[in-house]
Amino acid sequence: MPSPSAPHLDSDLAEKVLVRFLRDELRRTGLGKLVLGLSGGVDSAVAALLAVRAVGPENLVAVAIPAAESSPQSLADAHDVAAAGGFALDVVPIA
């Protein structure tokens, strides 16, 4: 029996919908900035870059909160995402 094909995802459309949602929610709430926890993982990286497209890097407050047992590579990845998106990353270590 043939395997079912993977569902098609129109990534350009998905990006437009998500960016529009973020803009609309900020406008609806009267807020001008987004706050994002940036772990260095793929999910927070995607969220950060969508946020930059929605509000601009100057309106994104990104925070990494590494614990003592966190992988140093995760924090390095978070810094790389911030550099790629052109936004500042605040690091607040927890112990």
Tens digit of each residue's pLDDT (9 = 90 or more) over 3-19: 678 788 899 999 999 99
Using CB atoms within 10 Å of the CB of residue 52, give its burial: 0 to 12 exposed, 13 to 18 middle, 19+ buried.
buried
* Residues contacting residue 45 through CB under 8 Å, at least 6 positions apart: 38, 77, 81
Confidence band for 35, pLDDT divided at 50, 70 and 90:
very high
Is 50 a residue whose pLDDT tops 70?
Answer: yes
CB neighbours of residue 26 within 10 Å: 17
